[in-house]
């Protein structure tokens, strides 16, 4: 038996997120179905990140355990033949038996895109949140810098999460406009449930001038979800990359 690390990209629009469910189509299910067809037996696929309904990925990671003679570099071709067009395995590599995609991740990078124009344009329909109100991107960038560092991010965690600790470290949080679209890039050692989308909702308030950039400090300190902004829509969010040692 070999343990294989799969890296993958998907358009989350048509899926009820990563994790397998009854009565809903998920990405994990599609991967497991493709593995079943390729390897002729049921295979459990363990993902690094449980992306929500509608969230996209460019660098999701998952592992499978298989007994196969297919060389690692051919596995993406073989699995992609059984996958729909909106899920693509981009890399496969044998990893040590003790490798775990979630516990051994060093950092994760998410990108949230906001199309800030007067009308929704076709190029940004699928992967960006259309937000027509005028935004001060410079203030959003200033506010984002307060997130960097090791903090208790309880104020940025949706109810229903059962994690032991809400302390996480953010390494990078940048807000920049590129080709008419605002990109918010966030890199950290881990993220709480809906954390990126709540950060984006809070940065939007700052961009509108409803909050000052330095209010981010008191929101963090409050440890109170009600102090932060709304949860921004899923469609703007992409799990860009997961890094391992």
Binding-site sequence positions: 110
**Site residues (CB under 8 A) for a copy of itself, limited to 21-80:** 56, 58, 76, 80
Sole binder of a copy of itself in the list 159, 179, 226, 245 (CB under 8 A):
179
Q: How many CB atoms lie within 10 A of CB 41?
A: 9
SS3 228: coil
Element containing residue 110 per DSSP (H, E): strand 105-115
Sole binder of a copy of itself in the list 43, 88, 137, 148 (CB under 8 A):
88
Instruction: For residue 10, state whether it binds a copy of itself (rule: CB under 8 A).
Output: yes
Can you give 61-93 as a three-state secondary structure string? EEEEEECCCCCHHHHHHHHHCCCCCCEEEEEEE
Least distance (Å) between residue 104 CB and a copy of itself: 22
Reply yes or no on whether 11 is catalytic: no
Q: Which residues contact 81 (CB under 8 A, 6 or more apart)?
A: 38
Please state the separation of Cα 103 from the chain's center in Å.
Answer: 16
The radius of gyration of the chain's CA atoms, rounded to the nearest angstrom, is 19
- d(CA 35, CA 188) in angstroms, rounded, equals 31
Least distance (Å) between residue 109 CB and a copy of itself: 10
- d(CA 146, CA 102) in angstroms, rounded, equals 26
* Cβ nearer to a copy of itself, comparing 91 with 225: 91
* Cβ nearer to a copy of itself, comparing 75 with 192: 75
Residues making up the binding site for substrate: 110
Q: One of 11, 52, 73, 86 is an active-site residue; which one? A: 52
Compute how many residues bind a copy of itself; rule: CB under 8 A: 30
* Cβ nearer to a copy of itself, comparing 155 with 184: 184
Q: Which residues are catalytic?
A: 52
The residues of the shown chain that bind a copy of itself, judged by CB under 8 A, are: 9-11, 56, 58, 76, 80, 85-91, 111, 117-123, 125, 127, 178-180, 183, 238, 240
């Amino acid at each position: 038996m070999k343990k294989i690390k799969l890296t993958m990209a998907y358009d989350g629009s048509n899926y009820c997120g990563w994790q397998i469910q009854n009565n809903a189509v998920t990405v994990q299910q599609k991967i497991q179905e493709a593995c079943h067809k390729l390897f002729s037996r049921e295979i459990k696929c363990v993902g690094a990140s449980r992306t929500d309904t509608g969230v996209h990925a460019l660098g999701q990671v998952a592992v499978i355990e298989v007994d196969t003679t297919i060389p690692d570099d051919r596995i993406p071709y073989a699995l992609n033949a059984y996958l729909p067009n909106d899920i693509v395995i981009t890399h496969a590599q044998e990893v040590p038996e003790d490798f775990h995609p979630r516990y051994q991740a060093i950092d994760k990078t998410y990108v949230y895109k906001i199309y800030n124009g007067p009308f929704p344009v076709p190029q940004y329909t699928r992967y960006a949140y259309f937000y027509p109100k005028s935004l001060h991107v410079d203030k959003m960038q200033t506010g984002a810098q307060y997130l960097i560092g090791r903090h208790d991010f309880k104020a940025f965690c949706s109810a229903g999460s059962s994690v032991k600790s809400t302390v996480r470290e953010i390494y990078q949080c940048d807000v920049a406009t590129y080709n008419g679209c605002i990109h918010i890039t966030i890199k950290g050692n881990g993220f709480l449930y809906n954390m990126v989308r709540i950060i984006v909702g809070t940065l939007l308030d700052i961009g509108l001038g409803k909050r000052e950039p330095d209010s981010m400090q008191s929101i963090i300190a409050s440890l109170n979800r009600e102090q932060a902004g709304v949860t921004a829509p899923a469609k703007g969010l992409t799990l860009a990359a997961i890094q391992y040692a």
